[in-house]
Amino acid sequence: MKMGSKKYFDIYFTFLKMGAVCFGGGYAMLPILERELVEKRQWTKRENLVDYYAIGQCTPGVIAVNTSTFVGNEVGGVVGGVVATLGFITPSLIVICLIASLLQNFAHIEMVEKAFSGIRVCVGVLIINATLKLWKSAVKDIFGVGIFIAVTVTSLFLKVNPVFFVIVSALLGIVYRSFREKE
């Protein structure tokens, strides 16, 4: 797909803005991605975004960056994926460099420690909200509830790589849906 440079700038700056406001990792950013990419720009569908999240969790790297790459690729091909990734990571690179140069001087200050404790609580709430949105779009029948319960319980008691859960869930989905189509 041939695209003009204006479209690539649009991809870059869209992901730059999201990268600048997404704190707390991939799950916390789901509402922002959904609002910007599905509802506002209509660059992808909600179902695709959930799929990209699942794949992003299985692939090396940060879920948010991986998801940005997949959406960028959907919108602008390989170059779009690279541009989206660069846009999303630019704010993090800048902030990390600044924090790394300053943190050692300020980490021990009580006010900074208190600020981080408040930020952690906020991120927890954002993750819960993202989980509830994922639940609504992904768990649609008793089969989905069964997979949800099985993965939740297993992940609480066993240290299993998330890739295992995704692969097993995919295989179960294939078998279950194939069986249901034959009925």
pLDDT tens string 23-37: 666 667 778 888 889
* CA distances in angstroms from 70 to 15, 54, 73, 142, listed in the order given: 12, 11, 5, 29
Summary mean pLDDT of the chain: 87
Burial of 82 (0-12, 13-18, 19+ CB in 10 A): middle
Query: What is the DSSP-derived secondary structure letter of residue 61?
Result: S
pLDDT tens string 26-80: 667 778 888 889 999 999 998 898 888 888 877 877 888 898 999 999 999 999 9
| CB contact at 8 A, 49 and 37 | yes
Across the range 167-178, mean pLDDT stands at 91
- Decide which of 50 and 10 is more confident: 10
Distance CA 89, CA 91 (A): 6
Q: How many CB atoms lie within 10 A of CB 4?
A: 8
Amino acid 1: pLDDT: 46
Amino acid 132: pLDDT: 85
Percent helix, percent strand, percent coil in the chain, to nearest 5: 85, 0, 15
pLDDT value at 2 more than 60: no
- Decide which of 140 and 70 is more confident: 70
Q: How many CA atoms lie within 13 A of 91 on its CB side?
A: 16
